[in-house]
Amino acid sequence: MSDNQIIRKKLLDHFPDANLIVGVSECQIIINYGSLKTAFWLDDWHHKNEIVLSIIASILGKNKTIFARNCQVKKVDKAIAEAFLNENHLLGYLNAYHKYALFFDNEIIAIATFSKGRKMIRLSSEKRGFELISFCCKKNISVTGGLSKLLKAFITDLQPGDIMTYVDKDWSEGKAYLKIGFKLHSETPPQSFLFNTKTLAKQKVSIDFELESNNDKNTILVKNSGNLKLVYTL
């Protein structure tokens, strides 16, 4: 059995009743579930397997559910946010200025991080725009109303003019964000990567990069789906 067949079998065995359609390419796993489609890089599957499975379980509604109304919001420091996101987010910790966490039974079950405020042309001079950099729940847990509760705490403290975020189109259509009031602002174009099919290493390159004949035979040029840029305006 090939590596790709093993991956496909593991996913179908892990979610036996989900009627998933799973395809595995040289660089990605593509999963179709009804009208929903999501894709993961193979390096994430091999190095962050539990996170990938948790994301899929969340999409399928198979994670443990906790209601945000039963949680408390607290600010946390960089060390705590970094440890949590490195353990539970595919992208790990990304530098942020404001960090808010949801606690349930004295345990962190979700975190949202934000940038500093910036002057934006679209806002009046006294207002500042912020970026929601990361939102993540603990593996195998979905928090109903979690993002909304963290946003409300942040808004109460900072009084932003608006909050912007990016949603990776490979992972999501952004429905959870649109449902709580974010609006589609624009879409960013796909990004190009060099992907080594042997080592699974991925390197971002310019969109007009061309693969030369002297490149490693295991290296292919691939693109992601780009991002949705969403804005929450108060």
* Tokens, residue 32: 């179709």
State mean pLDDT over 165-184: 94
Question: Quick one: CA dihedral 221, 91, 52, 130, positive or negative?
Answer: negative
pTM: 0.93
Q: Tell me what pLDDT residue 34 has.
A: 84
Residues of the chain with CATH 3.40.630: 65-145
Contacts of residues 179-186 at CB distance under 8 Å and 24 or more positions apart, as own/partner, are: 180/147, 180/148, 180/151, 180/232, 181/232, 182/230, 182/231, 182/232, 183/230, 183/231, 183/232, 183/233, 184/228, 184/229, 184/230, 185/229, 185/230, 185/231, 186/229
Is the predicted pLDDT of residue 166 greater than 80, yes or no?
yes
Q: Tell me what pLDDT residue 125 has.
A: 82
Provide CATH code, domain 65-145: 3.40.630
Q: Among 32-41, 70-79, 90-99, name the one with the lowest average pLDDT.
A: 32-41
Burial 8-47 (b: 16+ CB within 10 A, else e): beebeeebeebebebebeebbbebebeeeebbbbbbbbee
Query: Between 214 and 188, where is the model more confident?
Result: 188
Is the predicted pLDDT of residue 216 greater than 80, yes or no?
no
Q: Among 160-164, 165-169, 209-213, name the one with the lowest average pLDDT.
A: 209-213
